[in-house]
Structure 1
Amino acid sequence: MKFKVNQKDLYNGLNIVRQAVATSKTLPILTGVHIKAVSNNGLILKATDLELGIEYRIMADIEKEGSIVLPASQLLNIVRELPDEEIYFNLNKDKWQAEIKCLSSLFKINGYDPDEFPNLPEVNKNAEFNFPAVKLKNMIEKVIISTSSDETQPVLTGALFVIKPEEVRMISTNTYRLSYIEADMKTNIDKNVEVILPGSTLQELNSLLKEEGSAEIVIDENYVKFKFNGIVFISRLIEGEFPNYELVIPDEFNSEFYADLSRLYKAVKRASLIARLDANIIKLKAVNNMLEIDSIEGSSGYAHEEVKIEMNGNEQNINIDAGYLLDVLKVLDEEEVKFEMIGPLNPLVIKSEQDKFIYLIMPVRSQS
């Protein structure tokens, strides 16, 4: 194998595939990047931790075809520090060693036999459709905040992905909050499909997706594949049954109110400076077109904020986790945020009519 490639192109490609590199050294070869030089097709970079796999192609001048697996961290660190010039690679197949030259710099990196590197799984076309990247990214940003970190309940660590002939939904919950978002779109599938996408998959997708173009999505019983911007992204699905989210979302309310998003976010953030020193609980009280925000008075002190609102209905109050409220306010796009409430023992409902997004925060018992 012998080729030359631009430093920026290689560094960008390595940054993309490294997100699938294994962090555990149980199988050392999975901590590497599979590099394949193909005439007239450039370099094909590939990484996998057996749960997630990413493949990406970059342009390169191939003199001799071949492949090798090189330690991802070591290679990325070297390429990052090289100047924006052509990098020359040459493979010593007897030692599985790559020689890397750039101007006056020379490195030799020991790698692995590429035949021992696992192939990315084939994904059968049980369901296949195209999804605008900007919509997909927006949905992911809205649901990723509600995924659970509790590995004893695997289905809650991801998001339910529901594909219907003319609608797509994503739902996530950690049982203390819930995110629901839907998008109208013709998918051209003939039956409903429901799968659970891992939270880690959502995180990596969110970082790679751009707001232009579309993603081609293919789903089977075990895997999902996304193709966008030259990237092939394959993830294993989570097995299990997702909770019945429709039973949790209220279909009525006693009060609704609207608040300026920017002012509300700043007020909640200030109140949380005190609240987070104890249990991070704040009390919201909506009355007379004013939203009062109080930290629960504890050993660290007390905070009080007020934000003007437009209110319809009865006076309301509720104790909630301040962090959960801040999380959703960060991802909303409108200038105004809408709240709906039934009472202090029912969830606080936040809605975005622009995005068809619903966010629930369960009330918490005051520690005072």
Structure 2
Amino acid sequence: MKFVCSKEAILTEIIYSMDFTSQRNSLSITSNVYLETYNDTLVIRATDQKLGFSTHIAVQTLQEGKTTVFCEKLLNILRSLPDTNVEFNVEDGMFTIKPVSQNIDFKLRTITPDEFPALETAPEGQYFTVPQKAFSDMANQTIFAISEDETRYFLCGLYLERNASGMNMVATDGRRLSIVERTFEENLPMFTPVIIAPKFFTELKKLSTDEGMLELCITEQLLFAKIAQRTFYTTLIKGQYPNYRRVIPDTQNYSCTMRIQDMLDALKRVSLLVENKAKRIFLDISEAGVLLTSDESEVGEAKEIIPCQYEGPESKVSLNYTYLLNPLKAMEGEYFSINFTEPTKAMTVKPESNRDYYHIIMPMQPNS
């Protein structure tokens, strides 16, 4: 195996590949990246057995062949090289890296490519397209609400289901819920609802340009995505997702409207004196404004009032401030509303202008 290509071209793809390798054991084949060259093309593959990645770039192939090499070391070496063409060669179990016309020579031990696990492949003709930005935005509006409790593993991912005109994406940890109900102009196939691990969206964010289309393929066990020449996939989380519709209130009697930035700034300031593990703050909602208060502690207490539009009885709500802070950080527009009927029952947080996402927060009990 022998080929020449620019440092920049291969470095970009090895950076992406690194996230799909397993780095716990440097001697494991899944800590290696698979390289194969033929017809002036270099194929690059990486997998940690749960996620997989493949891509290709144009190179000058001097001798066809394939190998695997420790991805982390290859990445560090490539980053250290000058910006020039680099010659790569495999001989006697060693992968040689030599910049053209430079007195630099690296050698890395290889593992036979026959040991590299085969990557999963999507069924022919099963891909469908959605705008990259629209799909990424759905994840941005929900991903903060997934559970971190691994004993309830089926809540540790984003739930994706088909709706009449597009897709819904949902996240919940049992105390809050975020949902996007998005319409797509594209013709989407019917599919069984799936639970997607958050790592998929971490990689999507890195690979996505937020321009153009994203190709998706959903099978019983896997979710595939394609952007340009790059393909990656993740195994889906198995389990029965709860009937989230049961916690969404049908109607709510009162609505309190505020500026998003006013509430964000107040939450950041008042939370400086929140000492309890539950991260509890109090919202006193009245026609005069919303008073934010931290619990009294040995350190002290914080209070701040922000203006609002509200007609209804004075109400005191106790909640985890991050449950309100996180959705507001991702929310678009200038204003939002908190909708409720009773201070101890589910609250709905909605952006202005009838956007296609909203958030449900379960308040704490007053004496909890």
For each residue in 1:158-204, what CA deviation from the matched residue of structure 2 results, as whole angstroms up to 9, or x when unmatched? Answer: 11111245211101111111110021015535645311111222222
- Which letter does structure 1 place at the counterpart of 2:17? V
Query: 1:277, 1:300 within 8 Å by CA — same for their partners in 2?
Result: no
19-28 vs 215-224, which moves further: 19-28
Q: 1:21 to 1:354 in 2, by over 3 A?
A: farther
For each residue in 1:119-163, what CA deviation from the matched residue of structure 2 results, as whole angstroms up to 9, or x when unmatched? Answer: 111233696421100001100111110111111111100111112
Query: 1:125, 1:218 within 8 Å by CA — same for their partners in 2?
Result: no
Corresponding position of 1:210? 209
- The normalised TM-score by structure 2 is 0.93
The alignment partner of 1:111 has SS state of strand
Aligned partners of 1:60, 1:289: CA distance in 2, in Å?
A: 68
Query: 1:284, 1:319 within 8 Å by CA — same for their partners in 2?
Result: yes
Q: 1:151 to 1:213 in 2, by over 3 A?
A: same
Q: 1:26 to 1:104 in 2, by over 3 A?
A: closer
Aligned runs of 1:1-368 on 2, under 5 Å? 1-25=1-25, 28-40=28-40, 42-92=41-91, 94-95=92-93, 97-102=94-99, 103-124=102-123, 128-164=127-163, 166-186=165-185, 188-189=187-188, 191-276=190-275, 279-352=278-351, 353=353, 355-366=355-366
Aligned partners of 2:125, 2:168: CA distance in 1, in Å?
A: 18
- Which letter does structure 2 place at the counterpart of 1:147? I
Query: 1:165, 1:188 within 8 Å by CA — same for their partners in 2?
Result: no
Query: 2:26, 2:70 within 8 Å by CA — same for their partners in 1?
Result: no
Q: Post-superposition shift, 1:33?
A: 0.9
- Which letter does structure 1 place at the counterpart of 2:8? K
Aligned partners of 2:110, 2:127: CA distance in 1, in Å?
A: 37
Query: 1:164, 1:187 within 8 Å by CA — same for their partners in 2?
Result: no
Q: 1:333 to 1:76 in 2, by over 3 A?
A: same
Aligned partners of 1:100, 1:190: CA distance in 2, in Å?
A: 46
Aligned partners of 2:5, 2:258: CA distance in 1, in Å?
A: 53
Aligned partners of 2:167, 2:111: CA distance in 1, in Å?
A: 42
Q: Post-superposition shift, 1:320?
A: 0.9
Aligned partners of 1:199, 1:84: CA distance in 2, in Å?
A: 35
- The normalised TM-score by structure 1 is 0.93
Structure 2: any 5+ residue segments left out of the alignment? none
- Which letter does structure 2 place at the counterpart of 1:107? F
Q: Post-superposition shift, 1:107?
A: 0.5
Q: 1:337 to 1:88 in 2, by over 3 A?
A: same
Aligned partners of 2:60, 2:279: CA distance in 1, in Å?
A: 56
Q: Post-superposition shift, 1:27?
A: 7.0
Query: 2:141, 2:330 within 8 Å by CA — same for their partners in 1?
Result: yes
The alignment partner of 1:205 has SS state of helix
Aligned partners of 2:87, 2:111: CA distance in 1, in Å?
A: 19
Query: 1:48, 1:54 within 8 Å by CA — same for their partners in 2?
Result: yes
Aligned partners of 1:81, 1:355: CA distance in 2, in Å?
A: 47
Aligned partners of 1:314, 1:127: CA distance in 2, in Å?
A: 54
Query: 1:282, 1:294 within 8 Å by CA — same for their partners in 2?
Result: yes
Q: 1:215 to 1:275 in 2, by over 3 A?
A: same
Q: What is the RMSD computed on CA atoms of the aligned residues?
A: 2.0
Structure 1: any 5+ residue segments left out of the alignment? none
Aligned partners of 1:187, 1:194: CA distance in 2, in Å?
A: 18
What percentage of residue pairs aligned between the two structures are identical?
A: 28
Query: 1:317, 1:343 within 8 Å by CA — same for their partners in 2?
Result: no
Q: 1:66 to 1:354 in 2, by over 3 A?
A: farther
Query: 1:36, 1:43 within 8 Å by CA — same for their partners in 2?
Result: yes
Aligned length: 365
Aligned partners of 1:197, 1:278: CA distance in 2, in Å?
A: 29
For each residue in 1:86-115, what CA deviation from the matched residue of structure 2 results, as whole angstroms up to 9, or x when unmatched? Answer: 1211111x32x1100122321001121111
The alignment partner of 2:319 has SS state of strand
The alignment partner of 1:350 has SS state of strand
Q: 1:183 to 1:70 in 2, by over 3 A?
A: same
Aligned partners of 1:29, 1:8: CA distance in 2, in Å?
A: 25
